[in-house]
């Protein structure tokens, strides 16, 4: 009944159906048979309090602490009865602690309110009544058509309708969601992609049916029903059509999208945890001791009260001559007198739980937190950022951390890829100052001289290279060498999904073709930072990728333009671990260029320097570089006709489409000729390796939780020292069912048990982790505990928090710490015992929602080993001193008060300060 009322009032959106129906531009049917669904508004709320509930809610949270509640009871008792001590002795310190804590928490929540108001009040443009209307983000409704310009953040989860491109595509970065700063491509359905003006969009009549909100960032299913010329066209919608709140539009002037999830139902909001008040382990242990002492206190009070009435059982001691009872005292109820005496003894003995201890601890935490901000060793000169303390209650917790969970992108790495080396036809080269230099003595070299390939005239100088002392070959071999290098860098420049910014800083050109620009003026965007680094390296060598459209790719080779017809793109997937493009060269040849991990490319090669390249790839990997192999294949017209037919059938299949595509891709990507390999360095942040090693030496286990792909994550773990080359790397990836996952976990546990010498590292992906946590938590935890390092990849934000919670509730109850730099890390930062945010471009929200904020990962060791250890020693010493002092020392004042209370009925004059002096 109450749920129905709340739904009718709009407070409880009805989710009785598994799907929701959204009328674009809120054009509801006119037949009157449809009742519009009620959706929540677009406000984001991260604050805990309001003006109206701050006082009661904050007091409730503070008095949930055992110490505060106990001192409140003592204070009330002192007010109700005639006690041996003044109520001020308990009330004033309690009021001080409550007030200081309330002010601190109120200020922190005020900052969160400001952040929410900034987000909810951001200006947006919505299509209404045939025009663009400027409004605030919080006013967006489900079904509204929203206009987003370049570099703006999406204010809600939108289904893409159109962009300024004819094919309806756009590019976004999702660093705030999954930590990846790479460019991702999204496309609109063909029927709406052509609607590029407000007038055309305002005439659109369409309905979207999709699933109810869920937290999975990578899953979305729906369909769009478009009414055109008295007929309905149905188009499927998938993740490629969904633009998530928090993502940023890149390399596209503007897009139009329809809001389908708003406010706290967006995927970003569903991946956030509500901020709860954290308690340190020392405070929890103090509460445990407090309960024990409270039992002792109550026992003492009961025993003393019983002994008092036993003593007064004899008439001569019940009413001595020096303390005659009043008439009211003689006629009062014995039960009330017993209760009053019990409470009086309770107040007398309450010093066993010293309120001064809690006041001192609170002041030490509050004032001591300033030392973290003042520490020059935690100051980052380049950015001018110092450490920040957002929660002073956890200072001592820093010194007890047993598990560190860290994000990768932006936390361990700078996420800036740089091309370092390559292997071409069995020869190794490294880039030095924009030049390719052969590495080490080359064949037929007498002196081991080094020659180089100039970045400005690479291909022309190949003939000079082959005639140098290092390459004394025949004219036929010279031509062959030039062609091999030419083909290798063409493959690098064509086998990718890189896009070029439409708007240049100097305003030159706004279309896909930028052939009049110098390579340094081109701004590349890529779905992978590796691709961007490789295309930029090829441009420095002399083969410049100029741009592409839906059907054409253009490169400039030493100033000469060549256009390649783009026939097909075989997209990358985690199973194949490679991607390919099929192009038609200007000469008419049909070529396939493939790029991927050596484990997926080399087994499919039938030609080229396979063994030499394999050795070079291993050498690159030992240096911590990320490697990719390049290969090609040439098709005859008959072969291409067969391939084109198979691709069309697989891509239009309604049943088992993914399986059919995988089979066709495997049929195409075989019999390859190996061209070589590339090695790219993902720049680590300063002193990351040393910091991780210091944590490991301190006995702290380090887990890396990232949204990146498997290969990328493993490569970075190796380069930063999280994984060692001598480790036995175990994998739990691509699991499809519970039984398969359980079997794999059992095999991993057996392997660990049989080998007691080698250190093990575990790699698990998000899908497999979900299966492992569903029914096999104990087995999974057993495997993890026996591994020196754990790497979790393809993780959704909420999954990161679930992993930390799994460790927190394990039987050992270890202290956990989470460190991240983006909004996608907020959930795990708030879940861990201690949350640390890395301050940076994408780290503002992480820093604001963390307990501590530092400028770089390298400062973590100083924060834990110095400040955390010192604060733990200070707090532990204070607790030990106060409990020892109050339990073991009985003062003369206490002895006199106890005598007076035990032997007299009236407290009126017995406990005045003058009584002590008498």
With a pLDDT cut of 70, the percent of the chain lying above it is 80
In this structure, what token pair is assigned to residue 706?
């990232």
Predicted pLDDT at 444: 44
**Cα(16)–Cα(39) distance, integer angstroms:** 13
Pairing between β-strand 157-163 and β-strand 254-261 as defined by DSSP bridges: antiparallel
Query: Residues 27, 31, 32, 38: is their CA dihedral positive or negative?
Result: negative
Tell me the per-residue pLDDT of 345-386, one tens digit each, with 9 for 90 and over: 888 777 777 777 777 777 777 777 888 888 888 888 888 888
Q: Look at residues 364, 351, 396, 400 and name the one whose alpha carbon lies nearest to residue 883.
A: 351
Q: Say which of 178, 393, 407, 708 is annotated catalytic.
A: 407
HEC readout, 358-387: HHHHHHHHHHHHHHHHHCHHHCECCCCECC
- Angle ∠(205,206,208) on CA atoms, nearest 5: 160
Predicted pLDDT at 329: 60
Predicted pLDDT at 704: 92
Q: What is the largest CA-CA distance in the chain?
A: 130
Tell me the per-residue pLDDT of 597-623, one tens digit each, with 9 for 90 and over: 888 899 899 988 889 998 998 888 777
SS3 assignment, position 793 = strand
Predicted pLDDT at 917: 32
Q: Where are the alpha helices (DSSP H) in 150-255?
A: 175-178, 190-193, 198-202
Is the pLDDT reported for residue 512 higher than 70? Answer: no
The answer to whether residues 579 and 495 touch, using CB atoms and an 8 Å cutoff, is yes
Q: Look at residues 670, 707, 863, 906 and name the one whose alpha carbon lies nearest to residue 794.
A: 707
**Cα(269)–Cα(273) distance, integer angstroms:** 8
Under the banding of pLDDT at 50, 70 and 90, the label for residue 318 is low
Under the banding of pLDDT at 50, 70 and 90, the label for residue 154 is very high
Predicted pLDDT at 899: 57
Tell me the per-residue pLDDT of 384-421, one tens digit each, with 9 for 90 and over: 888 888 887 888 888 889 999 998 877 888 767 888 89
Tell me the per-residue pLDDT of 173-193, one tens digit each, with 9 for 90 and over: 876 666 566 678 888 888 888
Pairing between β-strand 254-261 and β-strand 145-149 as defined by DSSP bridges: antiparallel
The DSSP output letter for 603 is G
Q: How far is CA 831 from CA 133, 798, 807, in A?
A: 40, 10, 11
SS3 content of the chain, % helix, strand, coil (to 5): 45, 25, 35
Predicted pLDDT at 148: 92
Following CA atoms 507, 511, 516, 517 in sequence, which dihedral angle do they give, to the nearest 10 degrees?
Answer: 60
Predicted pLDDT at 504: 43
Predicted pLDDT at 906: 38
**More confident call, 350 vs 260:** 260
In this structure, what token pair is assigned to residue 874?
């200070």
Is the pLDDT reported for residue 482 higher than 60? Answer: no
**Cα(294)–Cα(74) distance, integer angstroms:** 12
Q: Look at residues 860, 855, 870 and name the one whose alpha carbon lies nearest to residue 379.
A: 855
In this structure, what token pair is assigned to residue 605?
């090669």
Following CA atoms 837, 841, 845, 850 in sequence, which dihedral angle do they give, to the nearest 10 degrees?
Answer: 10
Tell me the per-residue pLDDT of 200-240, one tens digit each, with 9 for 90 and over: 888 888 888 888 888 777 778 888 888 887 788 888 888 88
CA within 13 Å, CB half, 596: 25
**DSSP letters along 325-366, please?**
PPHHHHHS-HHHHHHHHHHHHHHHHGGGS-HHHHHHHHHHHH
**Buried b vs exposed e over 682-713: b needs ≥16 C-beta within 10 Å?**
bebbeebbebbbbbbeeebbbbbbbbbbbbbb
Q: Where are the alpha helices (DSSP H) in 145-188?
A: 175-178
Is the pLDDT reported for residue 10 higher than 50? Answer: no
In this structure, what token pair is assigned to residue 536?
């930029």
Predicted pLDDT at 462: 38
**Cα(249)–Cα(239) distance, integer angstroms:** 16
**Cα(626)–Cα(613) distance, integer angstroms:** 14
| Alpha-carbon 58 to chain mean position | 29
How large is the average pLDDT for residues 868-884? Answer: 74
**DSSP letters along 445-457, please?**
-SS-----B-SSS
Is the pLDDT reported for residue 57 higher than 70? Answer: yes
Predicted pLDDT at 790: 92
Under the banding of pLDDT at 50, 70 and 90, the label for residue 506 is very low
**Cα(254)–Cα(250) distance, integer angstroms:** 9
Predicted pLDDT at 84: 66
Predicted pLDDT at 457: 40
Predicted pLDDT at 521: 62
- Give strand pairing partners of 599: none
Under the banding of pLDDT at 50, 70 and 90, the label for residue 478 is very low
> Taking all residues of the chain, what is their mean pLDDT, rounded to a whole number?
78
**DSSP letters along 847-900, please?**
HHTSSEEESSGGGHHHIIIIIIHHHHHHHHHHHHHHHHHHHH---HHHHHHHHH
Verdict on whether the full-model pTM lies above 0.75? no
**Cα(655)–Cα(809) distance, integer angstroms:** 43
407 is catalytic: yes
Tell me the per-residue pLDDT of 828-854, one tens digit each, with 9 for 90 and over: 888 899 999 888 655 466 776 788 888
Predicted pLDDT at 328: 63
Pairing between β-strand 852-854 and β-strand 834-838 as defined by DSSP bridges: parallel
Is the pLDDT reported for residue 710 higher than 90? Answer: no
**Cα(835)–Cα(818) distance, integer angstroms:** 5
In this structure, what token pair is assigned to residue 585?
């060269």
Tell me the per-residue pLDDT of 755-795, one tens digit each, with 9 for 90 and over: 766 788 899 988 888 888 887 888 888 888 888 889 998 78
How large is the average pLDDT for residues 691-706? Answer: 90
Q: Look at residues 763, 812, 755 and name the one whose alpha carbon lies nearest to residue 784.
A: 763
Q: Look at residues 47, 43, 251, 45 and name the one whose alpha carbon lies nearest to residue 156.
A: 43
The answer to whether residues 762 and 769 touch, using CB atoms and an 8 Å cutoff, is no
The answer to whether residues 453 and 641 touch, using CB atoms and an 8 Å cutoff, is no
């Amino acid at each position: 009944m109450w749920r129905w009322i709340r739904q009718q009032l709009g407070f409880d959106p009805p989710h009785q159906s598994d799907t929701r129906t959204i009328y674009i531009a809120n054009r509801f049917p006119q037949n009157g048979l449809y009742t519009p669904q009620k959706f929540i508004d677009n406000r984001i709320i991260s604050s805990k309090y309001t003006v109206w509930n701050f006082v009661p809610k904050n007091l409730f949270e503070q008095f949930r602490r055992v110490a505060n509640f106990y001192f409140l009871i003592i204070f009330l008792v002192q007010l109700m009865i005639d006690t041996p001590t003044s109520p001020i002795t308990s009330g004033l310190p309690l009021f001080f602690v409550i007030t200081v804590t309330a002010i601190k928490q109120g200020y922190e929540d005020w900052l969160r309110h400001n952040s929410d108001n900034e987000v909810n009040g951001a200006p947006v443009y919505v299509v209404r009544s045939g025009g663009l209307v400027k409004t605030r983000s919080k006013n967006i409704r489900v079904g509204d058509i929203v206009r987003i310009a370049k570099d703006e953040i999406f204010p809600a989860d939108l289904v893409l309708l159109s962009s300024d491109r004819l094919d309806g595509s756009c590019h976004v970065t999702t660093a705030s969601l999954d930590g990846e700063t790479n460019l991702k491509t999204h496309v609109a359905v063909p029927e709406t992609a052509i609607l590029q003006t407000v007038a055309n969009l305002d005439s659109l009549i369409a309905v979207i049916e999709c699933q109810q909100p869920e937290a999975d960032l990578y899953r979305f299913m729906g369909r769009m029903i478009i009414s055109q010329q008295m007929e309905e066209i149905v188009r499927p919608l998938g993740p490629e059509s969904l633009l998530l709140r928090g993502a940023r539009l890149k390399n596209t002037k503007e897009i139009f999208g329809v809001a389908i999830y708003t406010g706290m139902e967006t995927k970003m909001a569903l991946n956030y945890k509500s901020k709860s008040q954290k308690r340190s382990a020392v405070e929890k242990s103090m509460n445990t001791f407090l309960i024990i002492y409270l039992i002792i206190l109550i026992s003492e009070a009961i025993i003393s009260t019983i002994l008092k009435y036993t003593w007064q059982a004899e008439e001569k001691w019940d009413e001595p001559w020096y303390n005659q009872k009043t008439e009211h005292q003689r006629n009062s109820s014995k039960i009330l007198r017993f209760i009053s005496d019990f409470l009086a003894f309770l107040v007398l003995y309450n010093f066993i739980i010293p309120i001064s201890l809690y006041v001192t601890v609170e002041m030490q935490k509050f004032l001591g937190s300033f030392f973290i901000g003042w520490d020059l060793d935690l100051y980052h000169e380049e950015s001018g950022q110092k450490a920040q303390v957002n929660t002073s209650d956890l200072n001592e917790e820093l010194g007890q951390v047993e598990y560190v969970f860290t994000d990768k992108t932006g936390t361990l790495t700078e996420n800036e890829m740089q091309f370092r080396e390559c292997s071409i036809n069995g020869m190794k080269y490294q880039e030095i100052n924009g030049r390719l230099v052969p590495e080490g003595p080359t064949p037929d070299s007498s002196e081991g001289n080094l020659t180089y390939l100039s970045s400005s005239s690479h291909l022309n100088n190949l003939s000079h290279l082959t005639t140098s002392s290092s390459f004394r070959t025949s004219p036929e071999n010279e031509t062959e060498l030039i062609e091999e290098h030419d083909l290798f860098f063409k493959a690098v420049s064509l086998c990718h999904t890189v896009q070029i910014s439409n708007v240049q800083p100097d305003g030159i050109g706004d279309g896909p073709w930028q052939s009049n620009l110098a390579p340094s003026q081109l701004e590349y965007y890529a779905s992978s930072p590796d691709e961007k680094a490789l295309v930029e390296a090829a441009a420095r060598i002399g083969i410049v990728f100029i741009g592409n459209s839906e059907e054409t790719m253009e490169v400039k080779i030493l100033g000469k333009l060549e256009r390649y017809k783009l026939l097909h793109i075989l997209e990358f997937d985690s199973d194949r671990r490679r991607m390919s493009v099929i192009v038609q060269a200007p000469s008419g040849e049909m070529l396939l260029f493939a790029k991927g991990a050596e484990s997926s490319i080399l087994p499919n090669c039938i030609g080229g320097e396979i063994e030499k390249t394999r050795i070079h790839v291993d050498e690159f990997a030992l240096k911590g570089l990320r490697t990719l192999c390049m290969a090609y294949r040439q098709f005859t017209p008959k072969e291409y006709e067969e391939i084109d037919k198979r691709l069309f059938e697989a891509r239009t299949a309604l049943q088992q489409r993914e399986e059919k595509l995988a089979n066709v891709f495997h049929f195409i990507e075989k019999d390859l000729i190996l061209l070589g390999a590339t090695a790219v360095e993902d720049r680590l942040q300063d002193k990351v390796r040393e910091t991780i090693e210091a944590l490991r030496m301190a006995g702290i286990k380090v887990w890396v939780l990232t949204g990146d792909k498997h290969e990328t994550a493993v490569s970075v773990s190796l380069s930063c020292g999280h994984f060692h080359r001598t480790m036995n790397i175990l994998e739990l990836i691509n699991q499809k069912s519970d039984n398969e996952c359980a079997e794999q976990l059992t095999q991993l546990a057996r392997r660990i048990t049989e080998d007691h010498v080698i250190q093990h590292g575990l790699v698990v992906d998000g899908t497999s982790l979900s299966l492992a946590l569903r029914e096999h938590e104990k087995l999974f935890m057993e495997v993890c505990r026996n591994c020196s390092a754990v790497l979790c990849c393809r993780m959704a934000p909420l999954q990161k928090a679930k992993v930390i919670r799994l460790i927190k509730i394990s039987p050992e109850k270890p202290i956990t710490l989470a460190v991240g730099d983006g909004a996608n890390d907020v959930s795990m930062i708030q879940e861990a015992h201690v949350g640390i945010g890395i301050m940076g471009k994408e780290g503002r929200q992480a820093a604001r929602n963390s307990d501590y904020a530092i400028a770089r990962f390298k400062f973590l060791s100083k924060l834990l080993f110095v400040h955390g250890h010192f604060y733990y020693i200070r707090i532990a010493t204070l607790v030990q001193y106060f409990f020892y002092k109050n339990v073991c020392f009985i003062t003369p004042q206490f002895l006199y008060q106890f005598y007076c209370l035990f032997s007299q009925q009236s407290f009126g004059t017995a406990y005045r300060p003058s009584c002590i002096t008498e």
